């Protein structure tokens, strides 16, 4: 039996990218969920014009982590076997959705809990050159995770991932912003998730894309990431989880 796969896209003010990206995503994914995280542009109107997709709406902007949490909860509630997350800014290749989803359940092996896209595991023809400060932060965070958690990652922040849905029930996502992956990696290791990287092309279409406010300063962004990481490591069992 083929796994039931949900492809989820977190979006915030992505009116300009929605139609071309979703047209490609829908070529390769049967079940598509778009989490509209309180967009203030024409995102909601564009989404309402696209048939065959599911839409979850946050009335106010809550953050990237909140959008992924909504996608995880939707996948759990609707009993999907796999949830693939892909960004809606055109930086990921929708044609790889079936392959990254299938990698969760390899033949003749135990399933993986996270198949994590990596833009640095392999070089592809036409790869972009990443903005220097973004690459530096990614390298520092990836090194931190590898040293402190015993991981072997090459890219800690790629948004293109496939998750086995059942283990997601063990996660307690309370970090709603861009540092959510730090919390997720700590909890994944804590719960013994099986993790494998998956090579994906390196594409940057908007090098000036904002993280919002003070986080556009790379030093402040790195301090924020470190704060979330340290807090999560110290929280053996966060009270917010109810466990």
Mean pLDDT of successive 10-residue segments in the chain (243 residues)?
94 92 95 98 96 97 97 98 90 91 95 95 66 82 96 94 98 94 97 96 60 66 93 70 42
pLDDT, residue 215, reads: 60
Q: What is the CATH number of the domain that holds 124?
A: 3.90.550.10
pLDDT, residue 235, reads: 86
In sequence order, which residues have a C-beta less than 8 Å from that of residue 128 and are 6 or more positions away? 202, 203, 204
| DSSP E strand stretches across the chain | 5-11, 31-37, 54-58, 82-85, 114-118, 161-164, 195-199
Q: Kindly report the CA angle at 212 between 208 and 215, in degrees rounded to 5?
A: 90
pLDDT, residue 199, reads: 93
12: containing domain: 5-241
pLDDT, residue 239, reads: 42
Report field, pTM of the whole predicted structure over 0.85: yes
- Cα dist. 43→14, 50, 56, 99, 162 in Å? 6, 11, 12, 28, 25
pLDDT, residue 117, reads: 94
pLDDT, residue 88, reads: 85
pLDDT, residue 21, reads: 93
pLDDT, residue 236, reads: 62
Overall domain count for the chain: 1
pLDDT, residue 131, reads: 61
Backbone torsion region of residue 63, taken as left when φ is above 0, otherwise alpha when ψ lies between -120 and 50, otherwise beta: left
């Amino acid at each position: 039996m083929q796994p039931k796969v949900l492809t989820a896209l977190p979006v915030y003010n992505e009116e300009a990218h929605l139609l071309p990206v979703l047209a490609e995503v829908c070529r390769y994914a049967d079940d598509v969920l778009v989490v509209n995280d309180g967009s203030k542009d024409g995102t909601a109107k564009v989404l309402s014009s696209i048939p065959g997709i599911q839409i979850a709406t946050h009335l106010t902007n809550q953050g990237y982590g909140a959008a992924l949490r909504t996608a995880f909860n939707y996948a759990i509630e609707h009993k999907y076997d796999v949830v693939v997350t892909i960004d809606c800014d055109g930086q990921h290749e929708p044609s790889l959705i079936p392959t990254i989803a299938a990698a969760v359940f390899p033949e003749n092996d135990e399933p993986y809990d996270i198949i994590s896209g990596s833009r640095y595991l392999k070089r592809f023809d036409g790869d972009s050159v990443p903005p220097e400060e973004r690459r530096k932060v990614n390298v520092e965070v990836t090194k931190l995770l590898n040293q402190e958690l015993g991981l072997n990652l090459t890219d800690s922040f790629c948004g293109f991932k496939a998750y086995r849905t059942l283990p997601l029930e063990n996660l307690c996502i309370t970090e709603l912003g861009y540092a959510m992956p730090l919390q997720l990696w700590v909890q994944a290791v804590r719960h013994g998730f099986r993790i494998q990287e998956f090579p994906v092309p390196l594409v940057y279409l908007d090098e000036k894309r904002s993280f919002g406010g003070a986080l556009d300063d790379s030093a402040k962004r790195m301090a924020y990431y470190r704060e979330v990481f340290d807090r999560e490591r110290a929280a053996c069992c966060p009270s917010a989880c109810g466990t």
